[in-house]
Structure 1
Amino acid sequence: MRHANRQAAWSVDDLGADCGWIRELDDAARRDLTAAVRKAADPAKTLLDYRRDDFDLGSAWPIIQASLHEVRDGTGFAILRGLPRDGLTADEFELLTWAIGLHTGVARPQGKASPFMTAVRDAGTVYRTGKGRGYSSNTDLDFHTDSADIVLLTCYNVAKSGGMSMVSSSVTAHQAMLAERPDLVELLHQPHYFSRQQEQAADEAAFYPNPIYDWRDGLLFSKWNRNRLRSAQAIGGVPAMTARQHQALDLLDEILRRPGVMHSMYLRPGDMQILNNHVTLHSRTEFEDHDDPALRRCLFRLWLAPPDGVGLPESWRPAYRSVEAGTVRGGIVGQAYDAARRGFEIRQAADLGMQA
């Protein structure tokens, strides 16, 4: 029976009525995290050299776990406030983000250079091109999902102005479309073609098929990134989109930005945002950054495959490589994936009782 992830079908009013998706670390938890990072930090190690047991997260871990449960079984996203930002350098804060990730799942590569951790900052890239990526630009972004089960984003510095984060429920959007234009909803359950933005691995094509929505075991899943669909239209072999497909996607984007559907927030230094990419879509407004490099907007992003990940629709296999529950899947493998990265995945999966 299709029950469509009831708790994930929220409205802005629902979030205001029940703030269980927001949690805050207390002073003891912050001290435990700071101590964990400083005890484990080793300048001779890369991030891939660390193991989960190197970091005792102490009293912070149950609070983090509660946020993760909300992401998996509740609204599909959570905000955790109060990470020890002021007491840590940027490098230490990045290591803290990695430590939380080691307790949460297996990190997934995120692009052409196969990085497992990404610093989200303006590097001057152009987003809406055949190889553009939003995280390294300062422009406003389309609503999209990232290429992993979970995205974990920690905030170190904020912009001078702008950079507001927006989240909408893809389940709520589907319900709205079903009520208003069921004929267009059917189109979103058909394959669409996503560009790999010239970051494909040697065994991958330049594009892949994936529906915007699909079902498995009574759950509704979404995958959406209009920039990648737009880019794919310039790739040989990709079918041209029809006028009705464009109409369906236009309506989806319009619904996602409705005031009752879209929740807007500014992440603050020390905030961690966690998103379930299967039931939420997210975006960001344009921002103006500081002149001082030490103050410029900086967040750290992890894509994760958690050990309690549910089974995915078969149609997700071209993007995720595996759709079985609890497996290491997703990410953008990229073009620098090597034995060291594979070794990390195997060790981390074993530490979490997962199949690599």
Structure 2
Amino acid sequence: MAPALTDALPTAPHNLASTAPRDIFPDGLKTTGQHPPLYDHIVPFDRFPREITGPTVWKAEDYRENPEKWTHRFTEEQVEELSIAADAFLASKTPLTGISKSNFTLPKLAEYLETLRKDIIDGKGFILFKGFPVEKWGNHKSAVAYMGLGTYLGYFVSQNSRGHVLGHVKDLGEDSTQIDKVRIYRTNARQFFHADDSDIVGLLCIAKALEGGESDIVSSHHVYNTLATERPDVLKTLTEPIWYFDRKGETSKGQDEYIRTSVIYLERGDQGRVYTKWDPYYVRSLTRFSDAGIIPPLSDAQQEALKVLEETCNRLSLHMILDVGDIQFLANSHILHARTSYTDHAPPTPRRHLMRLWLATPESEGGWKLPFWDSNEKKRGGIQVDDQPPVAPLDAE
């Protein structure tokens, strides 16, 4: 018999949040990192809803011709409030990795950001801000204001083994075909539809490409409903814990190089929502282990699911272009996102550059009840290798 769903919180192997040393983690919080799901909280396909309803289910045509529904241009007053808070933070000499709501106060914006946070977590799941003055402020002040803004949506988590809590999406000339070693955000290759390892992802555009590098997003709940109608066999395959995700060497001592998991889960609880965790690059990169017989190779059903999922996302997606000074925030729980490949300008024109945030929303603060032990940790998810300190570089490295 399948395990029952329960409202009980998973038991953490240790009380991580209260023990992170502040000489390493300035805000006293450590990213929990990647780990397998709680397998007894993975339920069979017949427990999943036949159809998802509510605001998380949206169609591209609902928004394509109505940008006012999903964009917000910062007012002069809001820009000034961000500027004052950023200047005060810079004057305090606090490390950027120590930024929080308590030392980046936004008296007027805070109420709006709380409403926005709820819409990202429980509603349509995305927003595009416009009018962030990156060219006037420069990278340092922009990074402070951006991270400060982000603290009102969630807790920043590390995005790689080097502890980057301020990430940089930029082509560093790495070989995008070496998918078992290279993170695609450090190349100019296409990124297929995926979700990042956090509850919310933010992207601030510092510089645009000559061509390409454009964004596509889709409601994974609309994709779910479409597959339930057109290809329930594919949907069933995606809910089974038969998928292996690569960790690309970003592991702590004693950890496996891969994680066995599902692609689509249910939240814990009687009315659990459908949660998607996916990145095809991390699935296709594991041939070094499947060729050696350590893990199973992708089955024909899994190969078909890979193909159909990407095709369905492409068909249902909303396209958007990020201009300099735009900020996109997305919920990874029920939004999948992609980007087109791109070509940069020739020097000395700057290369395409996006500053990235990964933000966590623990369930005690309104986040989803995920089937992972760290569901109620403030900095759940992300990538944490041993005690690597958080760092916030102002450019790619």
Q: Same fold (TM over 0.5)?
A: yes
Q: Which amino acid aligns with 2:126?
A: F
Distance in 2 between the 1:270 and 1:46 partners? Answer: 24
Q: CA deviation at 1:80?
A: 1.6
| Range moving further from structure 2, 1-10 or 142-151 | 1-10
Residue 28 of structure 2 corresponds to which residue in structure 1? Answer: none
Matched-pair contact (CA < 8 Å) for 1:126–1:133: no
Residue 73 of structure 1 corresponds to which residue in structure 2? Answer: 122
Q: CA deviation at 1:42?
A: 4.4
Matched-pair contact (CA < 8 Å) for 2:85–2:106: yes
Please state if 1:176 is matched with 2:226.
Answer: yes
Residue 194 of structure 1 corresponds to which residue in structure 2? Answer: 245
Aligned length: 332
Q: Which has the higher helix share?
A: 1
Q: Which amino acid aligns with 1:134?
A: I
Matched-pair contact (CA < 8 Å) for 2:113–2:152: no
Residue 263 of structure 1 corresponds to which residue in structure 2? Answer: 318
TM-score (norm 1): 0.86
| Range moving further from structure 2, 52-61 or 188-197 | 52-61
| Distance verdict in 2 for CA 1:210–1:142, change over 3 Å | same
| Distance verdict in 2 for CA 1:51–1:249, change over 3 Å | closer
Please state if 1:283 is matched with 2:338.
Answer: yes
**Alignment identity in percent?**
27
Residue 350 of structure 1 corresponds to which residue in structure 2? Answer: none
Residue 230 of structure 1 corresponds to which residue in structure 2? Answer: 284
| Distance verdict in 2 for CA 1:189–1:51, change over 3 Å | closer
Report the RMSD for the aligned CA atoms in angstroms: 2.3
Distance in 1 between the 2:385 and 2:156 partners? Answer: 14
Q: CA deviation at 1:17?
A: 6.4
| Distance verdict in 2 for CA 1:277–1:51, change over 3 Å | closer
Higher relative contact order (CA closer than 8 Å, sequence separation 6+): 2
Unaligned runs of 5+ in 1: 345-356
Distance in 2 between the 1:334 and 1:111 partners? Answer: 8
Q: CA deviation at 1:308?
A: 2.0
Residue 7 of structure 2 corresponds to which residue in structure 1? Answer: none
Deviations 1:35-71 (A, max 9, x none): 2112221495431233432222243333433332221
Residue 62 (structure 2) aligned to one of 14, 21, 24: 14
TM-score (norm 2): 0.78
Q: CA deviation at 1:283?
A: 0.7
Q: CA deviation at 1:99?
A: 1.0
Q: Which amino acid aligns with 1:151?
A: V
Residue 305 (structure 2) aligned to one of 232, 248, 269: 248
Q: Which amino acid aligns with 2:134?
A: R
Unaligned runs of 5+ in 2: 1-47, 393-397
Residue 334 of structure 1 corresponds to which residue in structure 2? Answer: 385
Distance in 1 between the 2:117 and 2:145 partners? Answer: 16
| Distance verdict in 2 for CA 1:203–1:78, change over 3 Å | farther
Q: Which amino acid aligns with 2:56?
A: A
Matches within 5 A, 1:1-356: 2=49, 4=52, 6-16=54-64, 19-42=68-91, 44-128=93-177, 129-191=179-241, 192-216=243-267, 217-235=271-289, 236=292, 237-258=294-315, 261-292=316-347, 295-306=350-361, 307-312=365-370, 314=371, 317=372, 321-324=373-376, 327-334=378-385, 337-338=387-388, 341=390
Matched-pair contact (CA < 8 Å) for 1:23–1:67: no
